[in-house]
Amino acid sequence: MLFDAPFHRPATRLRAGVAHVPGFLTLQEQAALVAQARDIARSVAGTPVAMARPVVGAGRMSVYTLSLGRFWAANPYRYVTSVGGVDAAPVPPEWTDLAHRALQAAAEVAGELAPWADGGFRPEAVLVNYYRPDATMGLHVDANEVSGAPVVSLSIGDEALFRIGHTESRTRPWNDVTLMSGDLLVFGGEARRAYHGVPAVRPATAPSGCGLREGRLNITLRQVDA
């Protein structure tokens, strides 16, 4: 990005159960996560669980998705452990530790998340989504998990506009927040089944040293079972 000079962005409780922690990941951590995700993607390339643009009811998504732990399948939407006899790549153990640290940080901002800050969270499914500079994600609900555990979301690369609404429909009111490289966002509690999405990525905003020249990598960690 043009100006990499740091500026203060305080951690914020966007609404009940939604915490935004700017700069949660250091540049070194971001680059390491990108490198690890690339290695995993290469290891499953050409298999039924390869990173790809999923086909959903509205057509093919603009986002590339890599599933770890459990494979996120569409039509119907569900999690499966394998596709065509090929298991989804396992979740790296250090990503579990990272999720626990993330929930502790989020609970300091949004007290509703405190019950999940004790280390009991199990990231059984991880979605690694790559957004090209022109990619978007429509408003949707993460409803395939039986567990009511929060979703832990990490952003790397280009900035994105994240939008979270309510649980009834895709209509207003919304909360919009800019997610920059290294930011953490966690949503749980009464916001766990809220509609959310990414209306826009802001090209050429990735900081040097994050591991990505362009686009955005979003890593979301989820507990599937209760």
* Full domain range(s) for residue 105: 12-222
Handedness of CA 132, 136, 142, 144 (dihedral sign): negative
Looking at residue 6, its pLDDT comes to: 60
Q: Is the pLDDT of residue 7 over 90?
A: no
Residue 215: strand, helix, or coil: coil
Looking at residue 2, its pLDDT comes to: 46
What sections of the chain are H helices per DSSP? 27-44, 93-109
Q: How confident is the model at residue 3 (pLDDT cuts 50, 70, 90)?
A: very low
- Quickly tell me which residue has 């989020």 as its tokens: 106
Residues of each annotated binding site for Fe cation = 140, 142, 196
d(CA 200, CA 178): 10
Stretch 125-135: mean pLDDT: 99
CATH, residue 187 = 2.60.120.590
Burial pattern 164-188, b for ≥16 Cβ within 10 A else e, equals bbbeeeeeeebbebbbbbbbbbbbb
With vertex at residue 20, the alpha carbon angle to CA 172 and CA 162, rounded to the nearest 5 degrees, is: 40
**Total count of domains within the chain:** 1
Classify residue 44: in a domain, yes or no: yes
Chain segment 54-80, per-residue pLDDT in tens: 999 889 999 999 999 999 998 899 999
CB 67 within 8 A of CB 126: yes
CB 124 within 8 A of CB 210: no
The 8-class DSSP code of residue 111 comes to: G
Classify residue 24: in a domain, yes or no: yes
Chain segment 152-168, per-residue pLDDT in tens: 999 999 999 999 999 99
The mean predicted confidence, pLDDT, of the chain is: 96
Quote the percentage of the chain above a pLDDT of 70: 97
Classify residue 166: in a domain, yes or no: yes
Q: Is the pLDDT of residue 29 over 90?
A: yes
Classify residue 2: in a domain, yes or no: no
Chain segment 195-211, per-residue pLDDT in tens: 999 999 999 999 999 99
Classify residue 171: in a domain, yes or no: yes
Classify residue 5: in a domain, yes or no: no
Q: How confident is the model at residue 99 (pLDDT cuts 50, 70, 90)?
A: very high
Classify residue 104: in a domain, yes or no: yes
Classify residue 96: in a domain, yes or no: yes
Regarding pTM above 0.85, the answer is yes
Looking at residue 182, its pLDDT comes to: 99
Looking at residue 4, its pLDDT comes to: 52
